[in-house]
Amino acid sequence: MRPLFVRILSSSALAAVFAAAVFAQVPVTQILRGTVVDANGDPVPGAEIVVQRPGSFTVCPAGDDGRFECGIGGSGPLELSVKAAGFGDYTISLTETEAFSGPLTVTLQTAALREQVVVTAEGSESRIGETAASIEVLSSEDILTTAATGIDDALRQTPGFTLFRRSTSRTANPTTQGASLRGINPSGASRSLVLLDDVPLNDPFGGWVPWASVAPIATGSVEVLRGGSSSLYGSDSIGGTIAIRRRTLSRLNTFSAEAFGGSSETASGSFFGGLKRKRFEADLTAAALTTDGYIPVEEAVRGGADEAAGTRDLNLSGRFAPNFGPRLKAFVRGSYFAERRRNGTRLQRNRTNSRRLEAGLDPLIPDLPGTSSTSLSIRAFGIFQVFDQTFSAVSDDRDSESLVRVQRVPSQSLGFSARFATVAGPHAVLAGFDARNTRGASDETGFFAGNATSVTGSGGGETSAGIFLQDRVSISDRVILTGRLRFDSWSNYGGLRTDLRLSDGNMTITKFADRDERALSPGASVLVRITESVSGYFNASRSFRAPTLNELYRGFRVGDIVTLANEDLRAERSLNLEGGASFWKRNFGLRVSVFSASIDDSVSNVTIDASGSPIIRQRRNAAEVLVRGFEAESEVRSGDLSFSAGYLFSDARFEDFPSEPDLEGNLLPQSARHNVTMRFRYADEYGRTFAAQGRASSSQFDDDLNRFRLPAYFQLDLFGGFRLGENVSFFGAVENVFNSRYTVGLTPVRTISAPFTVRAGMRWN
């Protein structure tokens, strides 16, 4: 028998050999550290780092300071790939010694303009240089270096984008905040679909856009697709689609805040914060704005009834995304928006209370045989809103006014969508389904001489559903063909109007007939790369827009003009043709295009009595409206400088209107023939920023009869800022530098634009 210590020594040696053998098979994890910077040495936040080596594949993000730490398994050489929005891709091969001997510095170069990745035009990721459409992208930097305060103001930098009545969400009545692209029938009901993370932002009852409900501090980018896109997005996109992308979390803890104050008693504070943990991800946005605004009537005719048009806004939004593992991504988001407005006189007020609930699922779908990059996205949402407004009649000397109507508009909308995408060889296939149900009413009390005289209620519901299929085929390295087809069904039901006369209690009830319409929206495009720098495209499609419940059931009054609803309105239908060419070099881009949109049954505000007071108009279908034009835009970048400019010529007219022949040949209201925009920005490595934005427009008319002409205008805005330390920056802005008090409306009283204004503030990141 061996001595005890010999047995112990032998057992220990055997255990050591066994442990060494086991641990030799466990891959050692090493930490790859570094910083992602731009050409000026400034950190690039949110860059995606992908590390590949034999036996391992790792993805990790850079933080807001550009730094990253990745745990890398395996051994041997590795390949490092870095991607970031607005920059060209970076790839390098490293030996193990090079990778782990010390922190790396990865320098990204600004992406060539045609390499910008967009989603809106094709419904999935594609590069601008490979897109057969006219599309513009605003980055978060573009938005935050704009002199004005809202997303709608930032979008006015975009050629072809206009706001109804030339006024912004800070001072305009919410019902006039519709977006128009290329002058396609501007009105309070937006002719462009606005999406916020793929969920419609347009008001469910009226189609206008609550721009103030989007906080710039929480906005990642905005894509503007000009031209009818119903073949992909359905109703409301007859003039184009605007896709707003919320900011995403780039690190474990993210926090940003902004506060500013300025003239017209303007003050604002906003916040964006988020957490990323193993089991969940969450973020919160809060923003508030108050401004006294300005008196919109020119000084020479103001009276005792006039006061400043201003607003108080509150915007809250929170998202929670539990981590169910790599096979399923999910989120739920709740939002609340409250707005209180003064509309320029002592009795004219409105307020909005809106609650939104969104949920989404992105399950991991296995690739089918012969396919790759397969994905499925499911979204559901609910919008619950109440809109209140008062209307008044102002005396000729504007020293007094009387209440004529108190209105309450409750509405709700429920929606669902699903999209499936896959790649099969040269084919990129996208298919989807969406549905929406909306109900709303306009409950009104009429007044005369300060006494309530009538109670009226009107409203109904509508349901829409659509299904679409798109195939994007790369014929060769130089030719890309895209074909799509969409079918939509729209029904209007439960329409009812009740009129109660308070003097004698007499009530009238009118039931409107249920009805439905269907629309087939095909689309096809071809993109040809003529050379490495030059490409051309052609795009043809059909689009449509169903009338809103607001147009069907709600009348309104602006100044001395009353506009009546029309429960018999039909859906608008458009044939869109577009062709263009582009030239792209690394830091220079030029795109030109011509377009035509022929719109049948276009819903327009038609004057039916111009002789009385008030003037009476009604929404009616014009047989045909024709919009033709030319568009050009360019951008150049050089080091710290960037400059872009755009020009739009749009001739929009009533082409055929048998019931109103006197209107044929007239220009559409609120559609200018010439629009020019420009942007200049300087941003250096020390955090110093200077930006200028200018826009000009030719004259336009405020009415269908082309009697109320709004003269041409030009406005210049300036922005400047500097960074103090790593996280704090200060900024100042001037709007309407030359104090141009141009006309924004004739109702028929002339209303004017905001005066010269200034603001200053601080940001913390």
Q: Measured between alpha carbons, how far is 306 from 399 in angstroms, rounded to an integer?
A: 8
Q: Measured between alpha carbons, how far is 390 from 347 in angstroms, rounded to an integer?
A: 7
Tell me whether domains 27-107 and 118-122+129-764 share a fold. Answer: no
Instruction: Give SS3 for 7.
Output: helix
Q: What local confidence, expressed as pLDDT, does residue 343 receive? A: 92
> Going by DSSP bridges, is the β-strand pair 750-752/561-564 parallel, antiparallel, or unpaired?
unpaired
In one-letter notation, the amino acid at residue 35 is: T
Separation in Å, CA 54 to CA 70, 75, 76, 140, 266: 16, 7, 7, 37, 58
Strand order in the sheet with 30-37: 67-72, 30-37, 104-107
State residue 301 phi and psi, 5-degree precision: -115, 5
User: What tokens does 451 get?
Assistant: 């006494």
Q: What local confidence, expressed as pLDDT, does residue 14 receive? A: 40
- Average pLDDT by stretches of 10, the chain with 765 residues: 41 40 51 81 78 74 80 80 76 81 81 68 77 87 89 87 83 84 84 92 90 93 92 90 88 88 96 90 96 92 94 96 88 97 93 96 88 92 96 92 94 96 93 96 92 94 96 92 96 95 93 94 95 93 93 87 92 95 87 95 92 90 94 90 94 94 94 94 89 95 94 96 90 96 90 94 93
644 backbone φψ class: left, alpha, beta (φ>0; ψ -120 to 50): beta
Which of 658, 596, 652, 605 is closest to 625 using CA atoms? 652
pTM of the model: 0.86
Which of 676, 668, 632, 634 is closest to 651 using CA atoms? 668
Q: Measured between alpha carbons, how far is 17 from 12 in angstroms, rounded to an integer?
A: 9
Q: Is 620 exposed, middle or buried (0-12, 13-18, 19+ CB in 10 A)?
A: buried
State residue 476 phi and psi, 5-degree precision: -160, -175
Q: What local confidence, expressed as pLDDT, does residue 10 receive? A: 45
Q: What local confidence, expressed as pLDDT, does residue 12 receive? A: 43
Q: What is the CATH number of domain 27-107?
A: 2.60.40.10
Largest CA distance in the chain: 125
**What kind of fold does domain 118-122+129-764 have according to CATH?**
Maltoporin; Chain A (2.40.170)
* Cβ atoms of residues 526 and 478 within 8 Å: no
Q: Measured between alpha carbons, how far is 112 from 129 in angstroms, rounded to an integer?
A: 10
Residue extents of the structural domains in the chain: 27-107, 118-122+129-764
Q: Measured between alpha carbons, how far is 406 from 426 in angstroms, rounded to an integer?
A: 59
User: What tokens does 626 get?
Assistant: 């024709």
